[in-house]
């Protein structure tokens, strides 16, 4: 059976290569420069409007005051982020990859630009697939915000498909209902927030966020996966959300984000406007430091305690990250001090299950890992440093109605070989935390396991 499948894969792969070759033969290369000389266009949008599917548009150095809208498969290539700038001052976006009005849009590449000063997102991608956004600088966008409103749609002028942009008005790079796409090697600085994946128009799945530097975005998270109400859904009974799942956030630097209002290095959220889904995503090998509420924050906001269907925040993985110096989580997800990872159901009581928290190094926090959810949280093979609280059950601290959170926190390194609570080691806070046995050395030396009573 495996051999048959392998042959089918080869045939499919050949078909893809032949198809790609045919497309490349038919594709043309268009050029843009600021003067429109040498047969080039003077505006990027003019070149896009005259392009055929799979054309390549090369943009010369210079500054272009535009909001570029892409509705066909093509490659838009600047001369490098230090050379080619899209200045969207007074305009909604710098670049909009519009699959909402162009059904089944896929195969778009945007690379080699600085995109700055947009009213909302620097780069917005909606209902598209196989989009690549790489080696761009996305700087100082979200000029319209911040907006904090009692209604989900707080940013006047945004399209109706953006159903919950309170606070940040979209972020630097926003993937809405987008699939199988990549944001890689971008510098993202000075926006309200950094990279946002949301699900207003469709399920957002199998995207890769990798090797980005996301720093000094003060009003929200560095990188956020946030489940929002479907377009057209209205209160009080918002429809079930499409979902954000099977996305990977890997090898990014997320530093000093959300420090003015409160945002995580990486956030996994459901917004509370109906049952959301942010599940089976992987947060791996990131550097998450100095952010406004946690290195990694997972928040649900509706659920049984409010007489509502639960959010689905199941099966997320937090693996191998370096987390340090982040601030306290607050509100209905409170922590007793600065926190590295916070897994929290707030007041709604939606159980968070099948979360993997492993091989993370956490230091310079008051609480390395906090949890409040009516389920068991598994925490293993982490390096819990800093000499304060390694693992905390903050259920009682959060003042929730039903407090039955537990944690299996065995086989972690607590900062010293003696184990939790000894001088120089981190300790536990709250009840129902199993910490014995522990590691005598940080993983991967997991075969040396300690034994004895918890201290």
pLDDT of residue 262: 83
Q: Please, what's the largest Cα pairwise distance for the chain?
A: 79
Query: What is the three-class DSSP state of 3?
Result: helix
Domain assignment present for residue 146? The answer is: yes
CB of 382 within 8 A of CB of 407?
no
> Which one-letter DSSP state was computed for residue 413?
B
Domain assignment present for residue 280? The answer is: yes
Contacts of 323 (CB under 8 A, 6+ apart): 265, 288, 289, 295, 296, 340, 341, 360, 361, 362, 363, 365, 368
Domain assignment present for residue 43? The answer is: no
Q: CA-CA distance, 68 to 44, in Å (whole number)? A: 7
Domain assignment present for residue 5? The answer is: no
CB of 43 within 8 A of CB of 32?
yes
Domain assignment present for residue 27? The answer is: no
Q: What is the CA radius of gyration of the chain?
A: 23
Domain assignment present for residue 386? The answer is: yes
* Distances in whole angstroms, Cα of residue 264 to Cα of each of 191, 218, 224, 269: 14, 10, 8, 11
DSSP assignment of 4-45 = HHHHHHHHHHHHHHHHHHHHHHH--EEEE-TT--TT-BSSHH
Q: CA-CA distance, 94 to 245, in Å (whole number)? A: 27
Q: CA-CA distance, 418 to 414, in Å (whole number)? A: 8
Domain assignment present for residue 45? The answer is: no
pLDDT of residue 2: 32
What is the distance of C-alpha 108 from the center of its chain? 20
Going across the sheet that includes 62-64, the strands are 62-64, 84-87, 114-116, 137-139, 187-189, 213-215, 253-255, 287-289, 322-324, 361-363, 383-384
Structure tokens at 202: 């469709």
pLDDT of residue 156: 72
Q: CA-CA distance, 1 to 225, in Å (whole number)? A: 38
> How many domains in the chain?
1
Contacts of 158 (CB under 8 A, 6+ apart): 92, 120, 165, 169, 170
Q: CA-CA distance, 415 to 442, in Å (whole number)? A: 8
Structure tokens at 63: 């500054």
Q: What angle do CA 48, 54, 57 make, to 5 degrees?
A: 40
* Domain housing 181: 61-434
pLDDT tens per residue across all 455 residues of the chain: 333 333 333 333 433 333 444 455 568 999 999 999 999 999 999 999 999 999 999 999 999 999 999 999 999 999 999 999 999 999 999 999 999 999 999 999 999 999 999 999 999 999 999 999 999 999 999 887 665 555 555 677 777 677 666 656 778 999 999 999 999 999 999 998 899 999 999 999 999 999 999 999 988 899 999 998 888 777 777 888 999 999 999 999 999 999 888 899 999 998 878 889 999 999 999 999 999 999 999 999 888 888 888 999 999 999 999 999 999 998 778 899 999 999 999 888 899 999 999 999 999 999 999 999 999 999 999 999 999 999 999 987 877 766 788 999 999 999 999 999 999 999 999 999 999 999 999 997 444 444 444 33
Instruction: Count other Cβ atoms within 10 Å, centred on residue 19.
Output: 10
pLDDT of residue 171: 83
Domain assignment present for residue 123? The answer is: yes
pLDDT of residue 330: 85
CATH number of the domain residue 251 falls in = 2.160.20
Q: CA-CA distance, 383 to 363, in Å (whole number)? A: 8
Q: Is the peptide bond before 250 cis (omega within 30 degrees of 0)?
A: no
């Amino acid at each position: 059976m495996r051999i048959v499948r392998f042959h089918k894969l080869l045939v499919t792969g050949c078909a893809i290569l032949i198809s790609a070759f045919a497309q490349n033969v038919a594709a043309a290369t268009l050029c843009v420069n600021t003067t429109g000389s040498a047969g080039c266009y003077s505006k990027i949008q003019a070149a896009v409007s005259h392009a055929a599917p799979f054309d390549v548009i090369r943009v010369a150095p210079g500054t272009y005051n535009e909001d570029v809208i892409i509705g066909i498969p093509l490659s838009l290539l600047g001369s490098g982020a230090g050379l080619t700038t899209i200045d969207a001052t007074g305009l909604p976006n710098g670049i909009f990859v519009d699959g909402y009005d162009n059904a089944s849009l896929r195969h778009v590449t945007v690379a080699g630009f600085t995109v700055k000063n947009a009213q909302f997102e620097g780069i917005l991608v909606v209902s598209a697939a196989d989009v690549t956004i790489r080696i761009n600088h996305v700087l100082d966008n979200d000029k319209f915000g911040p907006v904090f409103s009692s209604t989900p749609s707080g940013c006047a002028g945004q399209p109706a498909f953006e159903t919950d942009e309170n606070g940040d008005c979209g972020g630097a790079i926003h993937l809405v209902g987008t699939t199988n796409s990549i944001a890689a090697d971008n510098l993202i600085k000075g926006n309200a927030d950094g990279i946002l994946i949301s699900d207003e128009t469709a399920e957002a799945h199998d995207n890769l966020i990798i090797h980005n530097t996301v720093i000094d975005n003060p009003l929200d998270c560095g990188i956020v996966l946030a489940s929002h109400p479907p377009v057209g859904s209205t209160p009080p009974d918002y429809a079930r959300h499409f979902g954000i799942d099977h996305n990977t956030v890997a090898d990014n630097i997320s530093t000093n984000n959300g420090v003015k209002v409160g945002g995580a290095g990486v956030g996994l959220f459901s917004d509370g406007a109906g049952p959301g889904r942010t599940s089976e995503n992987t947060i791996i090998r990131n550097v998450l430091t100095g952010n406004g509420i946690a290195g990694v924050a997972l928040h649900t906001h509706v659920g049984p305690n409010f007489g509502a269907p639960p959010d689905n925040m199941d099966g997320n993985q937090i693996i191998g990250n370096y987390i340090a110096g982040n601030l306290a989580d607050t509100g209905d997800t409170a922590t007793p001090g600065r926190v590295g990872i916070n897994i929290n159901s707030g007041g709604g009581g939606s159980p968070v299950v099948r979360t993997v928290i492993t091989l993370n190094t956490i230091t310079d926090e008051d609480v390395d890992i906090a949890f409040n959810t009516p389920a068991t949280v598994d925490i293993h093979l982490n390096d819990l440093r800093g000499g304060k609280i390694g693992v905390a059950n903050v259920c009682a601290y959060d003042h929730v109605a039903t407090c039955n959170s537990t944690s299996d926190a065995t086989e972690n390194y607590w900062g010293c070989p003696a184990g939790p609570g000894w001088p120089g080691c981190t300790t536990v806070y709250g009840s129902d935390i199993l910490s014995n046995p522990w590691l005598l050395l940080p993983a991967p030396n997991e075969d040396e396991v300690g034994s004895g009573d918890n201290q």
